[in-house]
Structure formats: C-alpha cells, structure tokens
Amino acid sequence: MINYEELSKEVSYALRHAPWEYELEMDEEGWVSVEQLVDALNKDMKWIGTSEDDLLVMIDKSEKKRHEISGGKIRAFYGHSIPMHIKKEKMIPPDILYHGTARRFLSSIKINGLLPQGRQYVHLSQDISTAQSVGLRRDNKPCVLQIDAKRAWEDGILFYFGNEKVWLADVIPSKYITEI
C-alpha cells in the first residue's frame, strides 16, 4: 500500500529542490517528464511499481494543491529552491494577502520586509486560516501578517500565481506589512 503523503514529500523534494538527484530535465516553468520521474522513483526499492496513476492519486488525495500533471509532464506549483529560476505567471493579486510566520522572525521582517530566504519567491496565503497553518510549521503561536497587496501592486511590486491559496512575490517591503 503506497503512503501517498510520503510520496508527495519525495516528489516535492525532487521537483522543488533536487531534480538532478533524480536525473530529471526541468524546463523554465518547472515541468519534468512524468515518465522520467516514474523511472527514477522505480529505481528506489521503496517506490518500485509506482506509476503515473499513483501520482494522480497522490495529487487527488492531497489537501494542499502542490503538484500538477498535464500532457505527460508534472510540476510543483511553488516552493522551489533550485538555482535555475522557475518562471511563474505574473498576476494581479487579491487586495489583501496574508503571511503566517514565527514570532522570532518578526523583528527582522519589520526591518527587511519579507524575503524569499531559502526559496525563489516569498510565499503568501490567500486567507488567514491558510496563513495560520503555514506559521504553525515554525511556531506554536504563529503570527499572521497582512499584506496590502493592492498598494504594493500599484507601486510596481510583482505578484505571481502559485495555486488558489498560495501567491508568490519576489520581496515584500515592510511598508506593506501589518501584524494582525
């Protein structure tokens, strides 16, 4: 019986952080061939027999929309840290976005704004409850920051679409951020 949550973690690792470990050729939008990924997974005892159908089930079962399969290719919607820059689609953001984070990062965020840190983009949430769960990964009493995305966009800050709940940006200067 496949552990789809664990499979999703491994696929995220391959597509976000280390495609070379799986000999995947990735294009500038982060797509790789499903066949290449399935072949690489099948080389690992743990994932022998894993098929494209399993990847579809994995995506379907996941609470978060992390991956997408289309035309024999698969990609991660967000989260990349690889050196090659992944191009995301620029899009007008909702007026307000949120970011859940740990209390210990607040003082630095107030000074430096939100920075992508280890990833290629800053990750923002469409709603408060999503931001809260993002923050809970790092702090049992996370804080939620409100981003004045409308004003930032009008001032020329670029936003990109991740999935329905995750928005991306390059940097969010602190003047657009308030703590809620």
Q: What are the residues binding ligand HQG (CB under 6 A)?
A: 64, 66, 79, 101-102, 105, 108-109, 112, 114-115, 117-119, 123, 134, 138, 166
As measured in angstroms, the least distance from the Cβ of 111 to ligand HQG is 7
**Phi, psi angles (nearest 5°) of residue 166:** -115, 125
Distance in Å, CB of 48 to ligand HQG, minimum: 26
Name the residue nearer to ligand HQG (CB basis): 42 or 84.
Answer: 84
Minimum gap (Å) between residue 118 Cβ and ligand HQG = 5
User: CB count, 10 Å around CB of 180?
Assistant: 10
Q: Of 25 and 179, which CB lies nearer to ligand HQG in the complex structure? A: 179
Q: Which is nearer to ligand HQG, 49 or 118 (CB)?
A: 118
* Nearest distance, CB of residue 79 and ligand HQG, angstroms: 5
Q: 25 or 180, CB closer to ligand HQG?
A: 180
What single string gives the DSSP state of each residue in 31-71? -EEHHHHHHHHHTSGGGTT--HHHHHHHHHH-SS--EEEET
Strands (E), the chain: 32-33, 67-70, 73-76, 96-101, 122-125, 143-148, 159-161, 166-169, 177-179
